[in-house]
Structure 1
Amino acid sequence: MIKPILALSTAALFSLQAAATVVEIRTNMGNISVNLFDEETPETVENFLEYVNSGAYANNVVHRSEPDFVIQAGGFTYNNTLPLDTVATGVAVVNEPELSNVRGTIAMAKQAGDPNSATSQWFINLSDNSQNLDVQNGGFTVFGQVIENGMDVADAISELPRFNLGGAANSIPLQDYTNDDATNGREPDGDNFVLITDIVVTDAATVTNPDLTPVPNTLIDNGSEPTPPSGGGSSGGAMHPLALLVIAVTTIVFRRRTKR
């Protein structure tokens, strides 16, 4: 489904005003505050806030973790049983690749080969992924920046062991869950998933963090080709073969037992 890496561009020489809404992603591992870039990516922010305000992200699951690359959520919820439920999505939003996928930014995930296919899923960049994601698939739309100590939480999530539950959750981070649990067929539950209890607007002021300067995406304008990922795949298409090899070696395939 949705799949996802490094350089600080001379884009830092440009100055953009960071005007915007602040939201708090509340998880069972801590809260992540995000300053949204309403002025730079208005359509994307409006789309994201529609999901926020509808409650679509309540009980959402961080379903994908690629250490030193991204953590991803927004697509699935846990309602006390498996398989995970899929978030109902609306019309896809038009791509707005204005800003760079540097560490600490939040961006929209999308379908491979379709720049304008983002709906509810998003990811947080754990590294400077600009050389790859700023140009791949039309460029991935960055629409916010993690602030305060939010990246401590994101990094902690990325350090959890990962397991393969199949489908889009083939690299899902789980807490207090072991290889023995997977081998014995024990299904993970609410104590094991990284759950987003809700995402709420905490500051709707026009200018919330005026000192925050987002990095423009200049690679999309100069025709640069994506740099092959090292240790990560694509947030929007089929995973890079190297990433598949890493997951095959480092994760345990979870064998779910069919409930009758």
Structure 2
Amino acid sequence: MEQGKVYIVGAGPGDPELITLKGLRAIKEADVILYDRLINGELLTYAKPGAEQIFCGKQPNFHVLKQETINQLLVHHALKGKIVTRLKGGDPFVFGRGGEEAEHLAKHHIAYEIIPGITSGIAAPAYAGIPVTHREYSQSFAIITGHQCHDNGDIQWESLAKGIDTLAIYMGVKKLPYICEQLIKYGRHPGTPAVLVYWGTTENQLNVTGTLETIVQEARKSNIQNPSIIIIGDVVKLGEKLNWFQHETNEQQVLRAVL
């Protein structure tokens, strides 16, 4: 039997129209689709009739399938000669464990292809009117995981506080007090603008703004949970006048009410 192939696809941050043409083709051609919790379900409607769809969703402290099981399923179906699409939110190589899956496929000599996706650390602030770089405000940009933030020195907070203009922190809502504390401790001004973008690029998007000194309180007031991206830096101020998506959404709501 001829061996199949695995496509590790970034589905983008939530808006289904942000997937790449190549990613969409991988969905349409797949015999088996393994998909994560945060992908937009509308993308699955492009699957061909009879394609097997396997939910691999991960939530904090609860995984439907362990990563080892997902790895094994990719190999299992490819060895049966099937085209397998591993559909992941955002970009598969940005905190998506796509690298681990690719390593497992390479170990078992399975043909695979990586199809990048738009990562939420860029897309969510863009939909909030916040450019992560800007000639006047930000010459540098860093992506950080907040999921495992603790005090064992694994994240160089001093370097981030002093050397990077704009920070995009993934999976950091639970650790937000610690993150703000560390950045202020190492020299970031307490008045530095900050925003949490909840469910970015979707109709449920909510932007909660503040400063390093106030954002924890603002997040609690709005009961912000994951999935949220935290953006810290002076570029956040631009969201006040460039928030095109919120204006567009409000106009659509008004139009629906009139109709």
Between 1 and 2, higher relative CO (CA 8 Å, sep ≥ 6) is seen in 1
TM-score, with length taken from structure 1: 0.27
TM-score, with length taken from structure 2: 0.27
